[in-house]
Every structure is written in structure tokens, then in C-alpha cells.
């Protein structure tokens, strides 16, 4: 885990382009941090407590200042299982209120139980879901040591609680999983129509650098936003037509031309499920 410096005060560590496994310690997502004169603001907590401790060690090499805040871009396991390590050290945790329902859901509990098996020993009985100290309800500013950060809710998109963080002085955008850089996103149960609207919201920030939740930093913000947007739009277009014509999913999937996206990492792992979820979504939306 080697922090990469993005601008004067912004850094990030980059997870692997893979599914979570004991071999990669669930290091499959990125975390960012902003070093201010009064402390460090971390964006996302990584996928296991061990990874969070390693990130804290890396931060300590860069500055003796403590982590004062952790901002959660969304409550997916690979971004939040490290939170407890930051809380233990007194950091204040912020997230968008849309996560409230998920945090107390059976889905979240089941996911954690499964992770304790699938990701052992990195996720164990001591690993807990951490409730934020402060819920974010709308766009707001966080100022630490004179450094201004803009917190912008953009959900529901990838999740109900999507939140992005913008450092205007250095034009760096921490985009969470709204933007996938050079890979196929996991659509899950997300409503891609809202997601597309959120991507349009991000295009309003005049970012030079975009740090996505997965994959390398981008200095071509517009092209990356566009790729995710085009992929989602293509799923809606092709699967929407199939649902409308009541074509069976398997036939529609086999017939669809995926050549524009099939070279992207995680296409094989994610595309079929993304298409299927979109097919079901479009069926529901047409009723």
C-alpha cells in the first residue's frame, strides 16, 4: 500500500482490480486523504481493519497530525470495514443519511456474517459495522485547518447514500463508486436512471483529478464520467428493449453487442449480473 500524491494536500491508496478474497485482504477499493494544517481527513476506510491500520501507518509517515474525520462515500463493505480503527483513534465519522436504513438492515448483517467466513481472518467476530457520528443531509462544507472540503450527496445512484468530496482549492474530486475508472461497475440494485443524473451532477465540478472508489486516478474526468454513463445508458437501452418486447433475458443477453465494453476489467465478473439487474429494473419501470 503506497500512497500516491495527487496534489499539494491530497493523496490516495489504490486497491486491486479484483473481487475481495483472503489473499488480497479485501484491498479492492481506494481510500483518499487530505492533509490539512490541523489534521487529516480520510475519505473511505478500506475493506478490513488490518488495511485501515496500514493506511494509518502510511499517513503517519507523511504527517504527525491525527486523522480528525473520516468521510464515507457509501456503506459498501469494501469501503467501511476499516472504520472501527479510525473511531478507536478518535476520528469523527461522517456519512450521508441514506445509509441509515442499510446499516440496520438484515442485508448488512448477513453480508458481514458472510464476510467473516469468506474473508477470514481479515474480517472476524471483532469486525463491526460502525454508525457515523454525524449524518449528512445535504450539500455542506467541512473546514479543517483552513482547508475547505465540499461534501455533496449524489445518491441514490450506486447506493442511496452516495456522497462525493471535492477539494476546490486543488480541484480534486473524491468520487466514490459513482465513477469507475477503466472498468465495469457493479450496478447491483442501483437505479441507473438516478445514477446517470448523479454523473451529470459531478460534471458540474471543475475537477482536474478524479479519484474513483476503484481503479487509478483520472486526469480525464470527463471521459471517465462519460464511460460509466454510456455503459449504464447502454444497459438501459438494450435490456429495456428486451424487457419491453418480453424477450427472455438469456436470448437478449446473447444477442447484445458488448464489444464496446468487453475489454474492460471485471467485464466477465460483472456484466451479466449488471445486465440481468437492469433487465429486471426495466421490467418494473415499464409497469
Quickly tell me which residue has 494536500 as its cell.
9
Q: Which residue's CB is nearer to Zn ion, number 155 or number 213?
A: 213
Q: Which residue's CB is nearer to Zn ion, number 85 or number 162?
A: 162
Are 227 and 265 in contact by the 8 Å Cβ rule? The answer is no
Output the CA angle 223-224-230, nearest 5 degrees: 85
DSSP category for residue 218: B
Site track for Zn ion across 21-60, x = CB under 5 A: --------x-------------------------------
As a whole number of Å, the end-to-end CA separation of the chain is 48
SS3 185: coil
- Near Zn ion in 235-254, by CB under 5 A: none
Shortest Å distance, C-beta 76 to Zn ion = 5
The span of 76-84, 192-200, 215-223, 229-237 binding Zn ion (CB under 5 A) equals 76-84
Are 65 and 38 in contact by the 8 Å Cβ rule? The answer is yes
Shortest Å distance, C-beta 214 to Zn ion = 6
Shortest Å distance, C-beta 40 to Zn ion = 22
Among 32, 47, 212, 213, binds Zn ion (CB under 5 A): 213
Among 54, 177, 191, 224, binds Zn ion (CB under 5 A): 177
The sign one gets for the Cα dihedral 223, 229, 235, 238 is: negative
In a 13 Å sphere around the CA of 280, the CA atoms on its Cβ side amount to: 10
Shortest Å distance, C-beta 213 to Zn ion = 5
Which spans of this chain sit near Zn ion (rule: CB under 5 A)? Answer: 29, 76, 177, 213
Amino acid at each position: 500500500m503506497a500512497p500516491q500524491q495527487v496534489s499539494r494536500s491530497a493523496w490516495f491508496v489504490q486497491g486491486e482490480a479484483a473481487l475481495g478474497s483472503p489473499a488480497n485482504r479485501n484491498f479492492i477499493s481506494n481510500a483518499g486523504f487530505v492533509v490539512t494544517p490541523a489534521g487529516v481527513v480520510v475519505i473511505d476506510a478500506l475493506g478490513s481493519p488490518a488495511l485501515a491500520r496500514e493506511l494509518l501507518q502510511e499517513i503517519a509517515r507523511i504527517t504527525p497530525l491525527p486523522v480528525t474525520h473520516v468521510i464515507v462515500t457509501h456503506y459498501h463493505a469494501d469501503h467501511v470495514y476499516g472504520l472501527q480503527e479510525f473511531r478507536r483513534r478518535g476520528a469523527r465519522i461522517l456519512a450521508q443519511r441514506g445509509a441509515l436504513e442499510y446499516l440496520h438492515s438484515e442485508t448488512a448483517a448477513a453480508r458481514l456474517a458472510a464476510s467473516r467466513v469468506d474473508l477470514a481472518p481479515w474480517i472476524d467476530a471483532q469486525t463491526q459495522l460502525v454508525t457515523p457520528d454525524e449524518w449528512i443531509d445535504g450539500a455542506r462544507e467541512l473546514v479543517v485547518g483552513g482547508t475547505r472540503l465540499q461534501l455533496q450527496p449524489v445518491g441514490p445512484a450506486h447506493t442511496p447514500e452516495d456522497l462525493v468530496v471535492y477539494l476546490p482549492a486543488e480541484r480534486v474530486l473524491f468520487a466514490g463508486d459513482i465513477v469507475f475508472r477503466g472498468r465495469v461497475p457493479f450496478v447491483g440494485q442501483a437505479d441507473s436512471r438516478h445514477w446517470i443524473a448523479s454523473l451529470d451532477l459531478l460534471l458540474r465540478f471543475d475537477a482536474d483529478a478524479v479519484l474513483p472508489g476503484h481503479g487509478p486516478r483520472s486526469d480525464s474526468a470527463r471521459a471517465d464520467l462519460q464511460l460509466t454513463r454510456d455503459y449504464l445508458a447502454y444497459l438501459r437501452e438494450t435490456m429495456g428493449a428486451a424487457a419491453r418486447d418480453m424477450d427472455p433475458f438469456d436470448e437478449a443477453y446473447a444477442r447484445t453487442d458488448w464489444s464496446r465494453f468487453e475489454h474492460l476489467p471485471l467485464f466477465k465478473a460483472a456484466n451479466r449480473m449488471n445486465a440481468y439487474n437492469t433487465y429486471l429494473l426495466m421490467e418494473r419501470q415499464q409497469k
